[in-house]
Amino acid sequence: MKILVGNWKSNGTLKEKKQLLTALNKLKTKAKIVLCLPFTLLYGEKTKISIGAQDISLHPNGAYTGDISGAMLKAAGVKYVIVGHSERRKYHHGTNAIVKSKATTAIQNGIIPVVCIGESESEHKNGKAKSVIKKMLLESVPDNGDFIVAYEPRWAIGTNITPTKTEIESIHKVIFETLHKMNHARIPILYGGSINATNAQNFINLNYVDGLMIGRASLKSETFLPIIKNIN
Ligand code: PGA
């Protein structure tokens, strides 16, 4: 089953969430849909879509002003959480060690972490993508438990530029092989970065691609539904 993860980032109101969920609930699809919402929108009505968060505290409940713990996310019905998104790594000092701890915390709370990795534009241009990706995997993924990996090249996020099909397939193969060597079999590997209804079809059926992570195009039913409808 293909997995589609929508990432709303710092966007969205209750009204917009309800509009999209109404449309998604009517849709027949074989794909697993996960919608990762901002904290303010996590609690809510029953839906057949899985709800995810975009970050998790390293700490349990307690004196950690501003933090949202794993227990709190679980109580809100959250099933997935994005960890290590490049924007968290960039603006909130998300090192590989912190990403790994957050992924581990999520698993301990029964939440599946979506661990994001991806190289910068200069690393891509200098042919370093594969070595960067391997290091990020070795240092960021949890030791045990269920998780998902999302390959999101930093230069493809929010830019309308994507890697070629060949590039995606070859990086995903490295991710697959590295996870295998780490004794992590059957971990789904998603591609993310400037996905839209047109390119989604090109990427979703590539070897080693188990799904997609979608930012801007997941915000509205007009752009998200056409992506989902094309997945078999
Ligand atoms: P984008 O974002 O689809 O808007 O490029 C993807 C992401 O950051 O997850």
Task: Give the model confidence (pLDDT) of 77-91 as tens digits.
Answer: 999 999 999 999 999
Position in ligand 1 atom list of the atom nearest CA 196: 3
- Region 34-46: mean pLDDT is 92
Residue 148 binned pLDDT confidence (cut-offs 50, 70, 90): very high
Position in ligand 1 atom list of the atom nearest CA 7: 9
CA 219 / ligand 1 centre spacing (Å): 11
CATH superfamily ID and name for 3-231 = Aldolase class I (3.20.20.70)
Whether residue 73 has pLDDT greater than 80: yes
Q: In b/e form, how buried is each residue of 197-214, taking b as 16+ CB within 10 angstroms?
A: bebbeebbeeebbbbbbb
Percent of the chain with pLDDT strictly greater than 90: 95
CA 199 to chain centre: 18
Ligand 1 cavity residues, CB under 6 Å:
7, 152, 157-158, 192-195, 213-217
CA 193 / ligand 1 centre spacing (Å): 5
- Angle of helix 197-204 relative to helix 221-229, nearest 10 degrees, comes to 30
Percent of the chain with pLDDT strictly greater than 70: 100
CA 149 / ligand 1 centre spacing (Å): 15
Whether residue 45 has pLDDT greater than 80: no
Count of beta carbons in the 10 Å neighbourhood of residue 155: 22
- Region 105-110: mean pLDDT is 98
| pLDDT for position 11 | 98
CA atoms 5, 102, 143, 133: torsion sign: positive
Residue 48 binned pLDDT confidence (cut-offs 50, 70, 90): confident
| pLDDT for position 57 | 98
| pLDDT for position 230 | 84
CA 30 / ligand 1 centre spacing (Å): 23
Position in ligand 1 atom list of the atom nearest CA 159: 5
Mutate to test the pocket of ligand 1, among 3, 9, 149, 157 (most ligand atoms within 8 A of CB): 157
| pLDDT for position 223 | 97
- Catalytic machinery residues: 85, 152
| Three-state secondary structure call for residue 85 | coil
| pLDDT for position 47 | 86
In whole numbers, what is the pLDDT of the chain averaged over residues? 96
CA 47 / ligand 1 centre spacing (Å): 23
Indicate which residue's Cα is closest to atom 2 of ligand 1. Answer: 215
Mutate to test the pocket of ligand 1, among 194, 224, 227 (most ligand atoms within 8 A of CB): 194
